[in-house]
Amino acid sequence: MLSTKVIEHCRVKGWWHEDVPAEYEEALRKLDVDLNSDFAQFYLHAEDGPTFYSRHQELYQICWVIENTVYLQDMHISQLTLGLPEAYIPLDSFEGEGGFFYNRQTGEVVLVELGESIELFLNGESKPQWADFNAFLEWYFGLAEVTTL
């Protein structure tokens, strides 16, 4: 489930929409994503165009990208090229030789980069940095940081 922090952040930004487009539900079904997951809740209700931007990186609005690009083909190519299991789907364009991937089976999110980072991950020597998609979003949007006065 998405945290109140993420939902409120999206509302304040004007990104949160109560109406869920049927084509977005279908896009997530194509990915074999649980429509009750925090991943689906975010992508069915939050939209700021084709991407979100934070931490100097773009994050796909997955549903929009599936509907308007060849994302599904690109997903398979990136999985084959990088050697990632099919459960991992790209959340960005992997620019700068690194990118975020969501595990459709566990809900974890990993940041991998070419070289040692991806080798350690594929060998099981490193774990995903975020245990769930909500934790990733809180980090990505800067909502998880503790501020001291």
Whether residue 45 is contained in a domain is answered as yes
Rounded CA-CA distance 66/46 in Å is 15
What is the CB-side half-sphere exposure of residue 71 using CA atoms within 13 A?
A: 20
Least Cα distance to 50 among 65, 71, 32, 40 occurs for 65
Whether residue 89 is contained in a domain is answered as yes
89 close to 74: Cβ distance less than 8 angstroms: no
Rounded CA-CA distance 97/77 in Å is 15
Whether residue 146 is contained in a domain is answered as no
Averages of pLDDT over each 10 residues, the chain, 149 residues:
95 96 96 96 96 95 97 93 94 90 96 92 93 97 69
How many distinct structural domains can be found in the chain? 1
Specify the pLDDT at position 20.
93
